[in-house]
Amino acid sequence: MRIGELARRAGVSTRALRYYEQQGLITARRAANGYREYSEADLRLVTEIRSLLTVGFTLEDARPFVACLRAGHESGASCPESVEVYRRKLAEIDGEIRTLLTRRAEVAAQLGAACPGCMFGPPPDRNEGES
């Protein structure tokens, strides 16, 4: 398939696909006229990238997953490099959550001091986030 079809099926823009290629995440066979030609495996790669991005990963983070799929594994997370990225990201997210909780407490304290009676409820509980 060509880039337009891949874009539609993957739910991304053609610009994004060319960008991923430029970043070395995906590659494309070229037809005689210069058009990019993609396979079903490429669709799989792009959907993997997209799902990772939507969870807050960067394109750099996605590299090991793509490499893992390219290496023939069924899941992009089957390789130790991918697992390592997961662990790193988990720690990173935890750090951000802690930072935000600290900020929230500071801002809430300031708001409470400036305007007693303006407060809502408590910070979001971790139970809410679990699906």
Partner DNA sequence: GTAGGCGTTGACGCCAGCGTCAAGGTCAAG
Partner DNA sequence: CTTGACCTTGACGCTGGCGTCAACGCCTAC
**Where on the chain is the footprint of a second copy (CB under 8 A)?**
55-56, 75, 77-78, 82-83, 86-87, 89-90, 93-94, 96-98, 100-108, 110-111, 113-115, 118, 120, 122-126, 128-131
Tell me which of 3, 10, 45, 66 binds DNA, using CB under 7 A: 3
Residue 7 Cβ vs a second copy, minimum distance, rounded to whole Å: 25
Rule CB under 7 A: which of 31-90 touch DNA?
Answer: 32-36, 53, 58-60
- The rounded distance, in Å, linking the Cα atoms of 30 and 53 is 27
Q: How many CB atoms lie within 10 A of CB 6?
A: 22
Burial of 48 (0-12, 13-18, 19+ CB in 10 A): buried
What one-character-per-residue DSSP string does 93-114 give? HHHHHHHHHHHHHHHHHHHHHH
**47: its two tokens:** 């959907």
User: ∠ at Cα 87 (81, 91), nearest 5°?
Assistant: 145
Structural Rg of the chain based on CA atoms: 21
Of 31 and 90, the one with the shorter C-beta distance to DNA is 31
Q: Which does 3 bind (CB under 5 to 8 A by kind): a second copy, DNA, none?
A: DNA
Find the part of the chain contacting DNA (CB under 7 A) among 27-35, 69-77, 89-97, 114-122. Answer: 27-35
The answer to whether 2 contacts DNA (rule: CB under 7 A) is yes
**Residues in touch with DNA (CB under 7 A):** 2-5, 7, 12-16, 18-20, 28, 32-36, 53, 58-60
